[in-house]
Chain A
Amino acid sequence: MSTTAGGPPVDRFLDRLADFDVTHTVVAPDGVSDAIADVADEPAVGVELPDGLGELPGFVATDPSPSDLEAAATGVTHADLGVADYGSLALPATADGVEPVSLYGDQHVAVVAADDVVPGMPEALSALGDRFRADGDSVVLATGPSATADMGALVQGAHGPKTVHAVVVER
């Protein structure tokens, strides 16, 4: 809604990520593994990336147990969509655990395809509405790190990640 006019949505998306304190790298699929390795802290947990979004580096453990989740410094997942107007990442609730992996670590690294970035909320909700109605899917639209102002000042990192990094994949 804000200012999607002109420019491709990815440019706006990258600007808005920065507004919400999310760092990013833009890479080709074969650069994803290195891009994750550059920012991820160990121990790291993750879920296998969907086809076309590259590979996880070897040190990222998949199928984490609850204690792995609690101990993780970094969680690596894909995001289904990016929403340019808000720098939001759509994190699906999947059986392999995108939701807990993206939630428990101090850092979340999200891998999203540039061509999955939509301009604004109307496009995002229209895409998600179809999925919710058809498959009963659940998605969290995450914008920036978790935050609270309940303790007398703004603090990033309340119950969720303290930092977020987006790896934007140009296919």
Chain B
Amino acid sequence: MSSKRRASKAEHLRRVLATEGDAVAENTQGFNQGRYDSVADLEDYEGLKEEAREIKEDAIERLPDLIENLREAVEANGGTLYLADDAEDANEYVREVVADVDGDRVVKSKSMTSEELELNEALAGDGVDVVETDLGEWVLQVADEAPSHIVAPAIHKSRESIAELFEERFDPDRELETAEDLTMFAREKLGEQIADADVGVTGANFVTADSGTVALVTSEGNARKTVTATDTHVAVAGVEKVIPSVEDLRPFVELIGRSGTGQDITSYLSLLTPPVGSPTLDFQTDEVGSPDDREFHLVLVDNGRMAMREDDDLRETLYCIRCSACSNSCANFQQVGGHAFGGETYSGGIATGWEAGVEGLDTAAEFNDLCTGCSRCVNACPVGIDIPWINTVVRDRANRSEHGGDLDWLVEGLTPDEEPAGVDLQKRLFGNFETLAKLGSAFAPLSNWVAGSSVAGAAMERVLGVDDRRDLPTFQRETLKSWAEGRPDVEDPDRAVVLFPDLYTNYMDVDRGKAAVRALEALGVDVTVADECASGRAPLSQGMVATAREKAERVADDLLPYVEAGKDVVVVEPSDHAIFQREYERLLDEDDHEAMAANSYEVFEYVYGLLENGASETSLAAGDGHEVAYHSHCQQRTLGVDTYTTAVLDRLGYDVATSDVECCGMAGSFGYKQEYYDVSIAVGEELADQFSTEETGDRQVVASGTSCLDQLDDLLDRPSTHPIELVAPEPHGRAE
């Protein structure tokens, strides 16, 4: 990416942050909290998610057969099923249906698929008046804007801006001020339009192959009116919406509202087996007619989906039920919304899969870097899609589709990777952080002085897009490995571990590595420091999958012999512990991944286990009521291992307050990138604010992740430290 493009991307993000950021943050964070609260009421949330996942896996596997079953059911009910190859084909069919009934007006309930098809534009081209009846969609239609959220499309608009819009467009005879005024005004306006409509177009959240039933999840009642008030019903849905049976709706019905906007259930779940059995309503003649006069067309759209079904990495996208949990749980999305974090139609984390499959790689690559791989969406997704992995794969594909640049030679020596020429220089720099760290450490402190100079800073920003406002990491001459070589053995140890010296701990934050070793030794553990320190996390986050795989294999070769010899693996950096647990499944063969995952522990997880098994807590530094503010790492939280840090700190007598933001916003290299600096800071400020209240403002700040510590150091006046440095004997960094 050229420095000019970076600057224009940064400018676009700043504009979205300034104009829409507050409304998007308030709404998405409300939905996200609602999700936590609502799923907590379920007796077996995880079981329901697994069931939902299994139904989708099975349905996509059997899709061609299910479509044929569905066709039989729809036709037996008296409707028609049309399978459209692409958007043009689908639009052509709907246009014919509308023309056949001499339709002048089409009313629509909310449908993302019809947005994907640009159906409104196609119908308008025939002179048909198309009216969106979902209030949010209607506001956008009036304002001529695009949705910023897949469930709540006008989430970026405030009540005031909607009132202004209505005043300007409709010159209403009464003042519209409250949300209720606005809603009643819209209901009235749209009620007239629906009464005069000829054709009703809906989407479908699910379609059951056994009965031909279309399930619509709504709250306003506009979908009900759209179907009831018109004689001709057209339902438009992607082929992936087909599930085997009515009974299979169960987990989705219980999960979709809770996962999305935090509602236990939405007001209406329409289970329509069309043509529906209600009388027709003719508002012009004021007469009701026979249900037999109703007509139904189901348009199932391929538009790239059947190819996604054959794609081992994109297939999971088809399990998506468009609930918006991945948007709402995403720290970056919470700040910028779908106008920045989205493509032609879809937005949020899963949009990368949809846009890559439906529109193409270029569209997905435009916004895909806003996924930092923090993984907070993974547990939120009701069908368990590995959304970060889809983002990583698409980034890899986008990297490989770029042409070689003129400046590749600049980073060539620093980038002994497995990637083809053409990968963005900035990505190659961050992806090859191992080489940089080794050189930086070997030449410290000189390398730190050079990197810290204003000349180097400006050059880094111009050529590589490393934001000059960020401090670069300070490399240490003495690495953790060289320090540990001189350590005496623990006599008669209770256990033996191999400590994985991640890049940050080995070359930069060496003190936290020393503290980890001292703490473990004090608890009777013999510690060996491993040779390999690059887990593959750095290249993986840049979409450099082949390079990450090569590193993962090196790490497994280094660590697994220790495991076979009965040693446990202890990891200080949460993102590296997480890659062993999660992403190595994609990078290593099954046995190696299982061995790595089963035998590696985040350092506080391990300390907790030692204390539970009889190690004496008096070997560690007592808290004596010392007040700390703790921020756990996003990936640590996804794995549920953040609780061990708070449990150990509690047990040692520390007084712990915790943050509840989804991510710190630094996310490895993300916050260093010039184009994303402002987004990173906006996310980080939410965390900084939580640690600057009356209750937390004087507490010592501790955090588990290197990135989190860097971000907190940049945003708070007081220093932050890894919690292991607090509890290790001979404590360092404890603010006495």
Contacts and interface: CB of A to CB of B under 8 A. Distances in A.
A125 B246 contact: yes
B254 A1 contact: yes
A134 to B, nearest CB: 9
Interface string A146-162: 11111111110111110
A153 B179 contact: yes
Contact of B288 (A65, A94, A125, A142): A65
A132 B206 CA distance: 15
A97 interface: yes
Interface in B191-208: 191, 195, 208
Contacts of A153: 159, 178-179
A146 B221 CA distance: 6
Contact of A140 (B222, B254, B265, B270): B270
Interface in B259-301: 261, 264-274, 276-279, 281-283, 286-288, 290-291
A143 B266 contact: yes
Contacts of A160: 220-221, 224-225, 267-268
A148 B220 CA distance: 6
A8 interface: no
A126 to B, nearest CB: 6
Given A99-B228, A138-B273, A158 B278 contact: no
A112 to B, nearest CB: 16
B438 interface: no
A6 to B, nearest CB: 13
Given A100-B281, A152-B179, A141 B44 contact: no
Interface stretch (B132-140, B336-344, B582-590): B132-140
A136 interface: yes
Contacts of B266: 143
Interface string B402-442: 00000000000000000000000000000000000000000
A148 B186 CA distance: 11
A86 interface: yes
Contacts of B160: 152
- A92, A121, A143, A150, most chain B CB atoms within 10 A: A150
Contacts of B136: 148, 150
Contacts of A100: 228, 278-279, 281
B271 A66 contact: no
Given A122-B250, A132-B246, A150-B139, A159 B271 contact: no
Given A65-B286, A148-B220, A1 B277 contact: no
A159 B265 contact: no
Given A100-B279, A148-B219, A151-B179, A158 B272 contact: no
A95 B246 contact: no
Given A93-B272, A94-B277, A133-B210, A121 B224 contact: no
Given A86-B265, A148-B219, A159-B191, A129 B272 contact: no
- B134, B179, B186, most chain A CB atoms within 10 A: B179
Interface string A109-139: 0000000000001100110110011001111
A103 interface: yes
A132 B220 contact: no
A54 interface: no
A146 B267 CA distance: 6
B460 interface: no
A66 B187 contact: no
B183 interface: yes
A9 B521 CA distance: 58
B35 to A, nearest CB: 15
B522 interface: no
B240 to A, nearest CB: 21
B591 to A, nearest CB: 37
Contacts of B179: 151-155
A46 interface: no
Contacts of A154: 179
A99 B270 CA distance: 11
B609 to A, nearest CB: 34
A135 B269 CA distance: 19
Given A138-B272, A159-B190, A146 B220 contact: yes
Nearest to B140: A150
Contacts of B603: none
B43 interface: yes
B25 to A, nearest CB: 15
A158 B188 CA distance: 10
A156 B179 CA distance: 10
Interface string B148-189: 000011100111101000000000000000111011101100
A140 B268 contact: yes
B265 A151 contact: no
B159 A159 contact: no
B249 interface: yes
B164 to A, nearest CB: 12
B195 A66 contact: yes
Interface in A46-66: 63-66
B182 A138 contact: no
A100 B682 CA distance: 48
A145 interface: yes
A144 interface: yes
Given A100-B278, A148-B135, A158 B219 contact: yes
B1 to A, nearest CB: 36
A143 B267 contact: yes
Interface in B220-269: 220-222, 224-225, 228, 245-247, 249-250, 253-254, 261, 264-269
The 10 closest A-B pairs by CB, nearest first: A152-B159, A160-B221, A129-B246, A158-B220, A150-B136, A153-B179, A159-B221, A146-B221, A132-B211, A150-B135
6 contacts: A1-B42, A66-B282, A70-B283, A128-B246, A151-B179, A160-B225
